[in-house]
Amino acid sequence: GKKSLEEWVTQEASCLCAAFADQAGRPFSLNNLLNKAVSNVIASLTFARRFEYNDPRMLKLLDLVLEGLKEEVGLMRQVLEAMPVLRHIPGLCAKLFPRQKAFLVMIDELITEHKM
């Protein structure tokens, strides 16, 4: 009774095509829709559910991922990599990388929901 990866991808591809059709010839960001589609396939596999493309939780998660990646390649990450002893300062990483922390909190909430 469980869906295979191919079924999740096929279902999401049809949703993505519908989202393309909804644009009705207007210019739009292809990256934005593709990010949502890929995220939905991952969410389907991990949480056994997909999000609508305009779902506020999905939009927040995507924003946190993109902003978290910017934190990841920033100067502070390089400093921590050069001096790993700094990672042992309590609360420093949470202050330097707040979006990554917020992302993990949202993921924990989704996992708790899925368990229920």
Question: In this model, does residue 112 exceed pLDDT 60?
Answer: yes
How many independent structural domains does the chain possess?
2
Question: In this model, does residue 89 exceed pLDDT 70?
Answer: yes
Q: Are residues 6 and 28 in the same domain?
A: yes
- What sign does the CA torsion over 46, 51, 53, 59 have? negative
Q: Are residues 59 and 104 in the same domain?
A: yes
CA 110 from chain centre, in angstroms, equals: 12
Among all chains, which residue has been given the structure tokens 């992302």?
103
- DSSP 8-state class, residue 74: S
Among 112, 61, 71, residue whose Cα is nearest residue 94: 71
Q: Are residues 109 and 63 in the same domain?
A: yes
Question: In this model, does residue 3 exceed pLDDT 80?
Answer: no
Q: Are residues 71 and 98 in the same domain?
A: yes
**With a threshold of 0.85, does the pTM exceed it?**
no
- In tens, the pLDDT along 60-82 reads 999 998 888 888 887 888 888 88
Q: At what angle do helices 98-115 and 56-72 cross, to 10 degrees?
A: 140
Query: Domain range spanning residue 18?
Result: 1-52
Average pLDDT in the 12-37 region? 90
In this predicted structure, what is the pLDDT of residue 113? 84
Q: Are residues 42 and 59 in the same domain?
A: no
Q: What is the C-alpha to C-alpha distance for residues 81 and 94, in angstroms, rounded to an integer?
A: 16
Q: Are residues 11 and 31 in the same domain?
A: yes
Q: Are residues 33 and 62 in the same domain?
A: no
